[in-house]
Structure 1
Amino acid sequence: MNKTIALIPGDGIGPDVIAEAVNVLNAVGKKFGHSFEYKNVIAGGCAIDKFGEPLPKDQLDIALNADSALLGAVGGPKWDDVAPEIRPEKALLGLRGGMKVYANLRPALMFKQLKAACPLKDEVVGDGLDILIVRELTGGIYFGERGTSEDGKTAWDTEKYTWAEIERIVRLGFESAKNRRKILTVVDKANILNSSRLWRKVAETVHAEYPEVTLNFLYVDNAAMQLVRNPKQFDVIATSNMFGDILSDEASQITGSIGMLASASLGDGTGPGLYEPIHGSAPDIAGKDLANPLATILSAAMLLRYDFKLEEEAKAIETAVEKVLDDGWRTGDIAGDVEAVKAAGKLVGTKKMGELVVEYLNK
C-alpha cells in the first residue's frame, strides 16, 4: 500500500512528537510492506510567524490532497497578543472545517500500567476505564454567528444545530456503542437550550434503528459530576462541540495520563481524516527531549485503522506501546515516582521512547 500523509507538526512539542510517530509509521511500513510519503503542512503559530496567518489556503490544500493527516499541537503564549481572528487555534478550526471532519473520536482509556496516576479511588475506577467520547466538531457555538457591539460592552455567540449535523454524530455514537458495551449517553442541556432538545429528538428517532443499544440522556452539568463520581457507567458519550470539548478534557484527566491519549477527527470517508494527541503544545519543554510521544504514536495507529483500514498494523503499534509500558519505561509525565523510575534506569526522553516503540514493534 502506498499512501500520502500530511504532517502538521505545529508549535511547541508538536515537531518533537510528530518525528517519533513518523519513525513508528516507517517501521510499520517496513514490517508490513507499505510505503508512506509525507507532506509537511505549516499551521498554527509557526504559520503566523512565516505567513501572517495561522492556516494559509495552500497549506490547507496540502492536507486536503493527502490520504490522511497527522497533527502535533498548535499555540503557545508567544501568540497570546495577536488579533483574535489570526490566533493559532484558528488553524484547528480551519483544518476541521476545510477538511470537513465533523466527528471527533476521543478515547479516554486508563492504561492498567498507569493506574496509580488516576486521581480517583480504586473503588471508583475498579479494573480500569474505557470511555469513548464522540464530539461534534464543525457546528454549534464555535462556528455559530458571533459579534461584539460597537461600544465593546456586549458580545454574543450562537449555538445552532441542524438535524443532519446532529444525526451523523448520534449515528456514529450508536455504531460505536454497538461494537462496545452497547450503551450510548447523549449529553446536552435540554432543560434550557432549544438546540439540546433537538439533540434529544434526533437521538430518540435514530435509536429505533439500534434497539440493541441502551440510550441514556444526561444534562452536561450532571455528566461532568458523574464522570468523577461513577465513570464506569459510561461506554460511549455523544455530544455537541462545546460540551464535548469540556467533557473530553475532564475524561482525559481522570485516566491520569493525558500524555497517552489519542484522537481521530473523521468526515464522511471521502476525504482524509485528521489525527492528533489531545495534549497541548507545552512550549516550556519543546525541543528538550522531554515530551511524551505516545499519544501521537497512538494517534498514528488510529490513522492506520480508520483511514487506511489497516487493523493489524494499528494493533501492532498499540501492542508495542503496551509492552513498553509493561516493561516499566516512562517519560517524566507518566513516571509517578520519578526518582524511583530514574533509579531503575527506566526514565527516558522523547526520542528514546519512540525508539523503544519501534524496537518492541519489531520483536
Structure 2
Amino acid sequence: MPAIIEKLSSWLGAAVSTPSRPPLWVRIPDDRVDEPLPGGTLRPRHDYFEVRVARAHLAKRREWFTQYVPLVLAAADLSYDGQSVAVPSIIGPNMLREISADAPLSSVLAGTRIAGPIPYAGGGLTQTVVLYRLDMGNVLTPLMDVLEKGSKSLDFAGGLAPYTAMAKVLLGGLEALTGGTAPLLAVRDAQPVAEAGYWALIDGADGAPDVEELRVRNRELWTGDGPVRDVDYVLCGVSACDQQQIDVSRLPFFRQWQAVLSEAARSATPAIWSSAKVNMASLLAMVRTSPDLTIPHATALIDDWIEHLVGMHRDAVRVSSLAPARPGDDPRTAALDAVRSKALSVLEL
C-alpha cells in the first residue's frame, strides 16, 4: 500500500477516535425506505457499486454571533487492483451555496458520490464518516473550495500513481483546515460483506430519536410524521450501479482500442488484417484483467468490439474492391507495411 494511503487511513482513524458526542450508527431497513437502493448483497467482480452522502444536517448553525458551517469527511476503504485503498470525499460550504446560504432548517442536500462507480472486488467495505462544525469566520474559503474540488477529482481510472498524488494534496489541506478541531460525530464501520442500503450517523446524546422509528424519505432521515431536525446527522447510501455508468473511453486500454480500429479500417490486405488481429488479442487480455471492469461487463465489451472489428474489416475489403490498389503511392504507407511484415514474420518463428 502506498505510504500516503496508509497516512490517510491513519488520519481517518484518529478523527474517528475523538468525536465530541456519542455517535449512533444505524442501518435503515429497506422496508422503511421509500425508494430502496438497488443491489442487495454485492457480488465480487460482478457488481459495480458507489457510496454517496445523501444528506448532512446540523441542528444548530448559529450560536450568539457565531455562524457555523458543516463539513463532512467521508471515506470508503475498498479493494482495487489487489491493493487496499481509502477514497475520501469532502462536503462543505459549497453545497450550502448551491441551495442558497440561508437554506431552511440547516440542511445540506448533498447526494455527493464518495466512491464509484467501481467494481466490487470482494473483501468487504469500510465506511468512515466524520461530521465537523466549523466556525464560518475561521474557514479558509479558497482552501475549502480547492479541497472540495480536489476530492471530486480522485479517480482510479488513470491508475494508483495520480490517485496517490491527489490524495497527498487533499490530506495536507484537511490537516490545515481541521487542525485542533474535534469532530461532532464520527464512525468507522468495517463490513465483511458489502450490502446496498442506507446508514445514518446520528448524535446519540439525550434527545436522540428512537432508532426503531427512523426511516428514509426523499433521501432524508425521518421519524414519526416529519424529518429529523433536532439532532445532527449524516445519511449515507451504498448502491449497485448499472454498467452503462462506466465511461470506457476514460480507461487506460481505450487508446489501444482506437489504434486497433484504425488498423482494421485499412485491413484489406492479409498482412494488415493479421496485425490487427494480433493487436486485438493483446487488447482483449487487457480488458479481461482490467480492475475497472466487472466480468460480465468485460465479456459484453469483448463481444461488441469483436463484432465491430470484423465489420470494419469487411468494409475495408469492400472498399478495396472498388478500384485497383496502387501500392507505393505514399512512401509512409510503404514504410509501415515493411515494419508490419517484419513484426508478423517474428510471430512465425
Q: How would you bin the TM-score normalised by the shorter chain?
A: under 0.3
Between Structure 1 and Structure 2, which shows a larger proportion of helix residues? 1
Pair member with larger Rg: 2
TM-score (norm. length: structure 1)? 0.19
Between Structure 1 and Structure 2, which shows a larger proportion of strand residues? 2
TM-score (norm. length: structure 2)? 0.19
Q: Which has the higher contact order (CA 8 A, sep 6+)?
A: 2
